[in-house]
Amino acid sequence: MSFLGIDTSNYTTSLSLVREGRVVCNLKKSVYVAEHQRGVRQSDALFCHVKNLPILMEELGQIDDLEAIGYSSRPRDVEGSYMPCFLAGELVARSLSANRGVPVYPFSHQAGHIRAALYSANAMHLCGGEFLAFHVSGGTTELLYCKGEQITLIGGTEDLTAGQAIDRIGVKMGLAFPCGAALEELAKGVTPQKARVCVKDLSCNLSGLENKAEKMAMEGKSREKIAAFTLEFVRKTLEKLTENAFLRYGKLPVLYAGGVMSCSIIKKDFEERFGGYFAKPSFSADNACGTALLCMEAHGKRREKAK
């Protein structure tokens, strides 16, 4: 039996196929962002998904053993969570469900990120248990408490997300959006300037990072120095949040998910310091793998209940 996952986030159109509990297909196509721009409007993202989905569906090909379809319907599992770009995935999922006569299951983009990260990090044993999770991306920098099937927001940024700060700084440096990978490449081997971060309990502020990077540029600091400082600021912020979370909840297992957490500089440090679980880059950035895995699990529970 195969389970199809569809995710249409703000920056990536994604399809994934899970068969016998394994991800056998992980297809992605980026949403177009104009040169020198730091993001994309929802109307433009939705238009790109409408163009991208047929291309990816054709690449995926015929699925003869399709059992169920899962899709990302909202950013988070909280009341009022909504973004228009997810309507594109819902359109395809529900239409295909009606045509093929198979069930369809909606999930949050965030829940998909967490499940994909657990799968890729060989940490599926944490499913249904108690752990902390960071979802750090262009649209989100949140600290989550996970227990059973409940995901509870307990902290995170109060202004810019880490991904926004990285992209804003990168674009000003002349890098192509999204800027994370290029910024990391510039920072490799560079000793970063000491960063003073703004963290209070489980909340942080990241807007100061952009201001500091602008000041460094005006002082004539190299792109390499600015890149290294940017990632150090993010690393130290997440480090302090992790330490504070341990003080409040105990030293629970901690999962780091989202595109920003594919940074090898941060990953290496946090694996050594906290024993953190990290997804492979292709499962950390936006993808539909977690949605397909959640679909398989939800459908299995439905079948068990029907017996």
Query: Which residue intervals of the chain are DSSP H helices?
Result: 42-60, 86-100, 109-120, 162-172, 180-187, 207-218, 223-249, 264-274, 281-284, 289-306
Return the closest-CA partner of residue 72 out of 99, 49, 93. 93
pLDDT in tens, 105-147: 999 999 999 999 999 999 999 998 999 999 998 888 999 999 9
In this structure, the answer to whether residues 166 and 57 fall within a common structural domain is no
Q: Rounded mean pLDDT of 71-89? A: 93
The pTM (predicted TM-score) of the whole model is: 0.89
Same-domain pairing of 302 and 180: no
Task: Return the exposure string of 148-178: e unless at least 16 CB atoms fall within 10 Å of the residue's CB, then b.
Answer: eeebeebbbbeebbbbbbbbbbbbbbebebb
Mean pLDDT, range 33-56, rounded to an integer: 86
Q: How confident is the model at residue 202, as a pLDDT?
A: 98
How many distinct structural domains can be found in the chain?
Answer: 2
Residues 157, 203, single domain; the answer is yes
Residues 256 and 131 in one domain: yes
237 assigned to some structural domain: yes
What's residue 299's pLDDT? 97
Domain residue limits at 132: 125-278
CATH value at residue 193 = 3.30.420.40
* pLDDT tens profile 247-283: 999 999 999 998 899 899 899 899 989 999 998 888 9
Residue 120 lies in a domain: no
Q: Are residues 110 and 238 in the same domain?
A: no
Residue range 217-238: mean pLDDT, rounded: 97
Q: Which residues pair with 305 in a beta bridge?
A: none
What pLDDT, on a 0 to 100 scale, did the predictor assign at position 40?
79
Give the mean model confidence (pLDDT) for residues 74-85. 91
pLDDT for 177: 87
Which of the 8 DSSP states describes residue 38? S
Average pLDDT of the segment spanning 192-205:
96
Based on the fold, state whether residues 299 and 190 are members of the same structural domain: no
